[in-house]
A and B are shown apart, each in its own frame.
Chain A
C-alpha cells in the first residue's frame, strides 16, 4: 500500500469534496422542485387539477401498482424500447460496416440517408398503421424508423474518423480489410459506438412513445393518451415521471458499460 504525500491527500480530499457538492446540489434541485410543486398546488397558487402535485402522482403510482397495471404498462414499453434498441443497434452496426467496406455505396446512398434521417417520421404515422396494422409491430416499426438512420450515420462517421496512421500501419503489415476492421476500426471506436448507442436508446424511447400515442392499448404512451383523453392529468404526469426514471436508468446502464471499459484501461 502506498503512503501518499500530504499534498496528494489534499488533492484527493478536494476531488471528494467536489463530488459531494455535485451530488448535494443534484439532490437539492429535485427536492426543491418537488417541494415547490407541492406547496404551489396545496396553496392553490397553481390549479392542482391541471398541474397535479407530487403526492397525487405518488398516490397514482400506488394505485396503479395495487391494481397490477403499473408493471404491465412499464413492461410493455420497456420491451418495445429494448427490442427496437437491439434491432436498430445491430442494423446500425451492420450497415455502417458495409458502408465502410464499400465507400462507393456510401456515396450513392448519402442523400437518401440524409433525407430519411431528417424526415419527421411522425408524418408517416397514419401510413405505418395502415401498412403494418394497429399493433405492437407498428410501434416497433416507428421506433426503428426514428432511431436506425441516426445510428447508422453516427457509427459510420466515427468509423471514417479513425486515425489514418493506424490504418497505414496495418496496411504496411499487409493486413486485409477484415483485420483492419477488427484490430483497429472497432476497438478504436468503442467510445464512439457507446455514444451512438446512448443517442439510439433515447431515440427508441421517443419512437416507442410516439407509436404508443398513435396506436396502442398498453404501455406508458397509452397511459398518457388515455389520461389526456379522460382529462386525468394525474395519470399523464405520473406516466411522464415514470418515463423520466426509465430513460435515466437506461442511460445509466449504457454509461456503466463505458465506465467498466475505462477502469480496464487505467
Chain B
C-alpha cells in the first residue's frame, strides 16, 4: 500500500444528557492509506456515523486521537442529499468553493466538467426538484468532489434510495471515486454494499461501538461493485461479517 493518510488511535466518545452519560465509541483504532476505500459496518445506533463526525471535526472525541498525515481537505457526504432547492444543480455544486473562497474560472470549469463527465450536463441549470433520487445523490457526490478533497467521508450515502437505484448508484459512486483517485471512508449498515465496494471492512459492535474485526477484502476476481457481488469469495466475507454483527431481533 501507498502512503498512510490517517491514523486513528483509541478513539472514545461519550454522549451526555441530563440523566445519564452514554459511551458511544470505545477504543476505535485503524489506519487509512491513500486511495484506499474503507467501509465501516455496524448495527444502527452503534456510533459509526459519530466516527465520521469526529474525523470531519464536527464533533470532538472524548478521549484518544486521530491524525492526518498532511494538511488535507475533507469532503463529507451526508445521508440526506441536502441539495438546496433554491439553487441550480451547478450552484449547488459550487457551494463548497464559495464557502472556502475558492470560486474562480478554473474551479468552476472543473465542476462543470465533473457534471458533464458524470452524465449531468443537461441538468446544470435545472433545479434539484427536477431530478430523481439517484441523480440527486450523484449531484451530492459531485458537490463533495468539487472542493477537490483528499479524503471522502460518506455517511450512508445510499440509504434513502430504493434497492435498484442503490445498486446502480453504488456502482457509479465507486467508479467516480476510483477514477478521480480518491480515498474514502464509508459508513453503512448494508453488509453487501460494504464488501462489494471496499478494500477493507471494519465491523463495529453494538453500543458502545468497539471494533470487532477488520477484514481485508481480497476478492479473487475484483471488478465493479455489482460484479463483485457475484464473486465466489463474496459469501465467505458476508458470513463472517454477519456472524460478527450477531443480529438478534
Contacts and interface: CB of A to CB of B under 8 A. Distances in A.
B140 to A, nearest CB: 9
Given A165-B78, A168-B78, A265-B127, A173 B84 contact: no
Interface of B: 56-58, 74, 76, 78-80, 82, 84-87, 95-96, 98-100, 127, 129, 147
B82 A166 contact: yes
A16 interface: no
Interface string A246-266: 000000000000000000010
Contacts of A187: 84, 86-87
Given A174-B99, A174-B100, A265-B85, 20 more contacts: A165-B78, A165-B80, A165-B82, A166-B84, A168-B58, A168-B78, A170-B95, A171-B58, A172-B56, A172-B76, A173-B76, A173-B95, A173-B96, A173-B99, A173-B100, A174-B57, A183-B95, A183-B98, A265-B127, A265-B129
Contacts of B99: 170, 173-175, 179, 183
A172 B127 CA distance: 23
A180 to B, nearest CB: 9
Contacts of A168: 58, 78, 82
Given A174-B100, A179-B99, A169 B82 contact: yes
29 contacts: A165-B79, A166-B82, A168-B58, A168-B78, A168-B82, A169-B76, A169-B95, A171-B58, A172-B56, A172-B58, A172-B74, A172-B76, A173-B76, A173-B95, A173-B96, A173-B99, A173-B100, A173-B147, A174-B99, A174-B100, A179-B99, A183-B95, A183-B98, A183-B99, A184-B84, A188-B84, A265-B86, A265-B127, A265-B129
A51 interface: no
Interface of A: 163, 165-166, 168-175, 179, 183-184, 187-188, 190, 265
Contacts of A190: 86
A255 to B, nearest CB: 19
A52 B129 CA distance: 53
> Nearest 4 pairs between A and B by C-beta?
A172-B76, A165-B80, A165-B82, A173-B99
Contacts of A169: 76, 78, 82, 95
Contacts of B79: 165
**Would you call the interface of chain A mostly helix, strand, loop, or mixed?**
helix
Nearest to A175: B99
Nearest to B98: A183
B222 to A, nearest CB: 31
Contacts of B84: 166, 184, 187-188
Nearest to B80: A165
Nearest to B129: A265
A190 B87 CA distance: 13
Contacts of A173: 76, 95-96, 99-100, 147
A247 B150 CA distance: 57
A175 B57 CA distance: 12
A153 B57 CA distance: 33
B136 to A, nearest CB: 13
Nearest to B96: A173
A187 B85 CA distance: 10
A184 to B, nearest CB: 7
A188 B83 CA distance: 11
Given A169-B76, A173-B95, A173-B99, A188 B82 contact: no
Contacts of B80: 165
A79 to B, nearest CB: 34
A149 B76 CA distance: 39
Contacts of A172: 56, 58, 74, 76, 78
A165 B78 CA distance: 8
A55 B107 CA distance: 69
Give the residue among A174, A179, A187, A190 with the most B Cβ atoms within 10 A.
A174
A265 to B, nearest CB: 6
